[in-house]
A = this chain, B = another copy of it.
Amino acid sequence: MKESIPRKTVYRLSLYKRCLERLINGEGATVSSDVLAKVAGVKPTQLRKDLGTCGQFGKRGLGYDVVTLHRRLSDTLGRASLQPVILVGAGNLGSALLRYEEGFAREGFEIAAAFDAQPRKRSRDVKAPIFPLARMGRFVSEHGVKMAILCVPGTVAQEICNNLVASGIQAILNFAPIILQVPGKVMVNNVNLAIELENLSYFIR
């Protein structure tokens, strides 16, 4: 059953997991694919197909046991243990994300450290230390950090990305407005607010 699940499906599994968490304190101990699909904004058949990729555990005529399904999704999606992440670039967006630390922790990610070209004094609400960029590479390799959140200006993003890759980073959540060139083994997810806005504005004509 270890056959690779498609990327889009994995994305939706994460979504279902979060929807379940909102239902878990709710009424029934069981959900139908119709109800869960509606909350997640997908079609019921799609939901069932997606769940099919990680085994079968629905009760026909009844639905899915909320707790069991949630545990199953968590198992499939990966460790419940805290995955350490570093944040690079503590500008506007970067420091906002740092302040959102508890939020990340709740989701299973710990911001182990932050790095910036101009490290500031630790600000009131930010617990994680902000180190100079020069220390980044060593921190990554010494602590075996696998994931980084990149919030630096586009002009320096590729260079910093190269350093991250050289230090052994395997995945990058990239907020910089360029497409990073990385070796195939490194995975990058891009978040580009300008493009999202432009996309919306196209469709409202």
Contacts and interface: CB of A to CB of B under 8 A. Distances in A.
A78 B205 contact: yes
A2 to B, nearest CB: 10
What interface size band does chain A fall in? Answer: 35 or more
Interface of A: 7, 10-11, 14-15, 18-19, 22, 38-41, 77-79, 83, 85, 92-93, 95-97, 99-100, 103-104, 107-109, 146-147, 149, 154, 170-173, 177-179, 181, 187, 189, 191-205
Contacts of A100: 92-93
Contacts of A103: 194
Given A100-B92, A178-B22, A197 B39 contact: no
A171 B96 CA distance: 24
Contacts of A39: 179
